[in-house]
Amino acid sequence: MEKEKLNSIVENIQPITLDQMDGVKLMNRIDTKFICAFSQLPAILDELGDGYKVLEIDGCRIHPYKTGYYDTKSFFMYGAHQNGKLNRYKVRKREYVISNQHFLEVKFKNNKGRTIKNRVSRENELSHFSDSESSFLENYTPFESSDLELKMHNNFSRITLVGESERLTIDFDLAFICVGGNEKNYPEIAILELKQGAYTLDSTAMRVLKKHSVRPDSFSKYCVGTASLYSHLKSNRFKDKFVKIDRLKAVHAMNSL
């Protein structure tokens, strides 16, 4: 029922194309994340619709994404997050399914809270890093390509709302798949991320989410997925996230009655 409502609301938002969105790419930005129950999304989107346009590609406004995350053999990048280190990295390959675009991406979060993303196009069929990708990794991370191995796949659906100077992405239907085949799904929750060039509370998204008691909260798909799939890894830093996920599962179940 919630998905039908979501589809109906999204179809009534004014669309924007990828080319038109170029001015709001925000590759160097402040990210503010939020977590809510999936069943809260229709009411939130209904109030956001007038202030934003929705990304449309080939007539589609809800887009499937596929991501593969890399780390060192010892999970150095996961460990940096688990231990609260600043100036940390994530390395991923991402497939934008509808537009058939494939990128190798590096996200760097610095000690001032800014997220800097760099990426290069890649061939989908490659199971290894090309020479140019290896050079890219060595330029933008402290790692050599030979240090990295694929740890996890992450699939989800995304709605992208675009304002004059910010973007709000809404991710749901999260699935995490270990390279060995183990899988963990979280259909009851949604992850929202407000991307701004400069942090400000003067934002329609901020006001609407606050009205619905959805507060800023950290959430790393890679770290939550890794903690879910690799039980031998230390994960005490993320215990509160799993408590919150369980609470939102209950909210979703109650709203869905």
pTM strictly above 0.85: yes
Mean pLDDT in residue range 56-74:
95
What was the pLDDT predicted at 125?
Answer: 64
Token output for 239 = 């215990």
Three-state SS at 232? coil
pLDDT tens column, 163-220 = 888 899 999 999 999 988 899 999 999 999 998 877 778 889 999 999 999 999 999 9
- Name the DSSP class of 125: T
d(CA 219, CA 16): 27
What was the pLDDT predicted at 176?
Answer: 98
What was the pLDDT predicted at 29?
Answer: 73
How far, rounded to the nearest angstrom, does the alpha carbon of residue 84 sit from its chain's CA centroid? 19
pLDDT tens column, 91-129 = 999 998 888 889 999 999 998 888 889 999 987 666 789
Domain ranges of the chain: 1-62+189-219, 64-158+226-257
pLDDT at 74 over 90: yes
First-to-last C-alpha distance (Å) of the chain: 10
- Name the DSSP class of 112: T
d(CA 180, CA 94): 19
CB within 8 A of 158, min separation 6: which ones? 62, 63, 64, 65, 169, 170, 171
- Name the DSSP class of 57: B
With beta carbons less than 8 A apart as the criterion, state whether 33 and 218 touch: yes
